[in-house]
Structure 1
Amino acid sequence: MCSTDCTHCLGATLLHMALISMLLNILLFFPGMQRVSAEKIPDEAWKLGGLMGSGVLILFPASVYLQLRHFNCWGCFNHPACGRSLSSMNAVIFSCVGILGSSYGLFMALFAIYRGPKCFVGGDKWEYPFHKGNYLVDLKYWKDCKSPAHIVPWHLSIFITQSLLSVSEFVICTFELISGLLGTVFVSEKCPWAHKDQPPPTPPSPSPLPLEAGSGVGRRLLPSLLPPAGNPPAPQLQVPLCPAYPASTLH
């Protein structure tokens, strides 16, 4: 997969985009920055496309990408390649979670743009006055929403931003998914379990070294095994014998 520094930057980017998506979903509960009753809040706010889809579910891959810098240096069975393989598999799993979340957030944002905002149309009724996105091509329909003020630009600003964030999250998670799959496949060949049926390689035997006392090579290679030149061997300790006593002293 891509370098841990690159993945770390992508994780930080996902984290900020997820927080912005959650904030946008919260703003939907206040149409036109006005506090209204629950029945006047648009349905898209309760479906939590930005709060859960492009928000909370994106926090999982973002946190994994931020931690890959630490996971990449630890191996299993004292083998660093296995740590990289398992961290790549971890990124693959949570990239799938991010793809699902961003797809849901994107679908809800596009549907909200197509449907239009929920607003007051007169007669004490709050409903969706637009049909099949007609307000997107003809601005004269905007006057059908009498309140809150500027609700149509407010609605479009939130969901266009939400759709752009969801597309960016989808692209990042898809890139990390492909990168993680490649990293898992190619690095896993270096793990111990990939070669568990094969005997471990035998280390080559060391070549014999010359140890002759008169050899200069032997003296250079193994100086501690050879006696120092010019010094005689140390004398051995002689234990004195007991003197012989005359037979007359034994009586």
Structure 2
Amino acid sequence: MCTGKCSRLVGLTLVVASLACMVANVLLMFPNAQREWTPDGITLQVWLLGGLLGGGLMVLCTGCSAVRAGGKGCCGYGCCGNRCRMLRSVFCSAFGGLGAFYCLVVASTALTNGPRCETQDHKWGTPFKDLSQSYLYNQTMWDQCVAPPNVVLWHIVLFSILLGLGLLELVLCGVQVVNGLLGTLCGDCRKGADREGEGL
């Protein structure tokens, strides 16, 4: 696969992943899809906006840059080809990689600490934060949270999505750094392929 097509594919995937991260982060602000639990039922990790800023906007900029790098380029197919945009996508991918890493760290910390909820003694807190055993696979422990309803499952599912997407984004940003460097050095190989198509 040539650098241009690879860049476009990576860019489109990053755009979709970043939009999904933003949606997941917004949903986390409304536990159980209800507004009445905001802000009492919101953990610190939700307010850190790992999915909205890190895995969202920062990666969205990277995705758009990669898609543009897969186009005709600043000078068309002649002159520098896509080298200028490919070089720009390298820096944008490094920036997006930082955002994806931030999303990854926030999501993993949130899954470790657990959700903020009202416990059975009617106090708000994070009851799973300093436990010796993990609450993730022990559903009997989830009963400690009485409000918001289903907050533990809501927390685990959405932050797991952010964790997975953040890891995917980090890998794709790394791929685009390598692809962008190759495109900067070698140009867009679609140039020759397009000419062959025109001659047929």
TM normalised by structure 1 equals 0.67
Structure 1 SS opposite 2:70: helix
Give how far 1:85 is off: 2.4
Q: Which has the larger radius of gyration?
A: 1
Does residue 55 (structure 1) correspond to residue 56 (structure 2)? The answer is yes
Higher relative contact order, structure no. (Cα contacts within 8 Å, ≥ 6 residues apart): 2
Give how far 1:109 is off: 0.6
What residue is the counterpart of 1:111 in the other structure? 109
What residue is the counterpart of 1:6 in the other structure? 6
Query: For the Cα contact (< 8 Å) 2:66–2:86, is it kept in 1?
Result: no
Give how far 1:80 is off: 3.1
Give how far 1:149 is off: 1.9
Give how far 1:186 is off: 4.6
CA separation in 2, counterparts of 1:15 and 1:156?
24
CA separation in 1, counterparts of 2:40 and 2:136?
25
TM normalised by structure 2 equals 0.83
Q: What is the correspondence of 1:27-38 to structure 2 with a 5 Å cutoff?
A: 27-35=27-35, 36-38=37-39
Aligned amino acid, residue 5 of structure 1: K
Does residue 94 (structure 1) correspond to residue 92 (structure 2)? The answer is yes
CA separation in 1, counterparts of 2:171 and 2:96?
10
Structure 1 SS opposite 2:99: helix
Aligned residues with identical type, % of pairs: 34
What residue is the counterpart of 2:26 in the other structure? 26
Give how far 1:118 is off: 0.7
CA separation in 2, counterparts of 1:26 and 1:180?
32
Stretches of structure 1 lacking an aligned partner (at least 5 in a row): 188-251
Stretches of structure 2 lacking an aligned partner (at least 5 in a row): 188-200
Aligned amino acid, residue 58 of structure 1: V
Q: What is the correspondence of 1:16-165 to structure 2 with a 5 Å cutoff?
A: 16-35=16-35, 36-72=37-73, 74=75, 80=78, 82-130=80-128, 131-132=130-131, 134-165=134-165
What residue is the counterpart of 2:193 in the other structure? none
Cα deviation per residue 1:159-182 (whole Å; 9 max; x = unaligned)?
111111111111111001012123
Cα RMSD (Å) of the superposition?
2.1
Query: For the Cα contact (< 8 Å) 2:8–2:70, is it kept in 1?
Result: yes
What residue is the counterpart of 2:192 in the other structure? none
CA separation in 2, counterparts of 1:30 and 1:102?
23
Aligned amino acid, residue 66 of structure 1: V
Greater helix proportion: 2
Query: For the Cα contact (< 8 Å) 2:8–2:67, is it kept in 1?
Result: yes
Structure 2 SS opposite 1:39: coil
Query: For the Cα contact (< 8 Å) 1:18–1:55, is it kept in 2?
Result: yes
CA separation in 2, counterparts of 1:93 and 1:81?
22
What residue is the counterpart of 1:217 in the other structure? none
Q: What is the correspondence of 1:148-187 to structure 2 with a 5 Å cutoff?
A: 148-186=148-186
Aligned amino acid, residue 80 of structure 2: C
Query: For the Cα contact (< 8 Å) 1:32–1:148, is it kept in 2?
Result: yes
Cα deviation per residue 1:112-134 (whole Å; 9 max; x = unaligned)?
11111111103442110012562
Give how far 1:83 is off: 3.5
Query: For the Cα contact (< 8 Å) 1:22–1:50, is it kept in 2?
Result: yes
Query: For the Cα contact (< 8 Å) 1:73–1:80, is it kept in 2?
Result: no
